[in-house]
Amino acid sequence: MPEHVGAPFPSPRGARIEFDHVSFRYEDDTEDVLHDVSFTAEPGETLAIVGSTGSGKSTVVKLIERFYDVCAGAVRVDGVDVRAMAQADLRARLGYVPQKAFLFAGTVASNIAYGDEAATDEDIRAALAASCALEFVEGRDEGLAAPIAQGGSNVSGGQRQRLAMARALVRRPEAYLFDDSFSALDYATDARVRAALADYAEGATQIIVAQRISTVLSADCIVVLEEGRMVGRGTHAQLMETCPEYREIALSQLSEAELAGECGPTGADVAAATAADATPAIDAADGEGGAR
């Protein structure tokens, strides 16, 4: 069950994010990384992006954030071309969790408040609960004041990822961009975080780039990329019937029963996730801590 802290927060309004025949290539490249890609994430929807390594998944998120501008077509947020928006205004509406989570030297509280300097302790605890990080944080005597080493070197990879998620969540933005942000989590923790997010981020749009099919089974829409081109779009059930590329990826990772939703995390998965959170989670010494 998701953890809950304090009174409920008002649900954020979701943003409409549209890719309109987008093509993009990095400087000095001779071929497009994305070619003629079109999709729309409606307000409040969860849209997932999957594909093999090098298919252009992470580039999609980078174009929404305007780390780069498209070479053709347009990326729009609520009907406005992102190139017409001030970067600061655009990014204030987005909560971005990158592939490689990074934490700053300080405390748990200061790292989470980096996402919203006005955040109260209650706001921070709610965001930590939504990312399933509250339990291991409160397991320390220092709680929110527990020290974090530069880069988060004194926490495990999964804990670092969840703290980075909490930093994005505390902003309560209109859209969340998760760039393979669940990769450091075991199966059971992944499921717990997604269940908690469904409650905490209700009303916000979510775009999830994922390697693991299990992360995106319940998405409202899944976009499948192959060598920068969109080869499928639909729900998990639809793509299993109509998209060979998606089906191949799915069957390489999960059994038919798991893909049909008949199996959840095993007892061993749950025990492992629980044990990981029960261990001393945050080590005060720089460079020492949980498993990387």
| Per-residue pLDDT tens digits of the chain, which is 292 residues long | 334 344 344 445 899 999 999 999 999 888 999 999 999 999 999 999 999 888 999 999 999 999 999 999 999 999 999 999 999 999 999 999 998 888 999 999 999 999 999 999 999 999 999 999 999 999 988 999 999 999 999 898 889 999 999 999 999 999 999 999 888 788 888 889 989 988 899 999 999 999 889 999 999 999 999 999 999 999 999 999 999 999 999 999 988 777 776 444 444 444 444 444 444 445 443 333 333 3
Give me the sheet containing 72-77, strands edge to edge.
34-41, 17-24, 72-77, 80-81
Task: Give the strand pairing for 205-209 and 46-51.
Answer: parallel
The size of the chain, in residues, is: 292
Q: Check: CATH 3.50.50.60 for 100-172? A: no
Buried b (16+ CB within 10 A) or exposed e, 59-86: bbbbbbbbeeebeebbbbbeeeebeebe
The radius of gyration computed from the CA coordinates of the chain, to the nearest angstrom, equals: 19
- Taking the whole predicted model, whether its pTM rises above 0.85 is answered as no
| Residue 55 · residue 228 · CB < 8 Å | yes
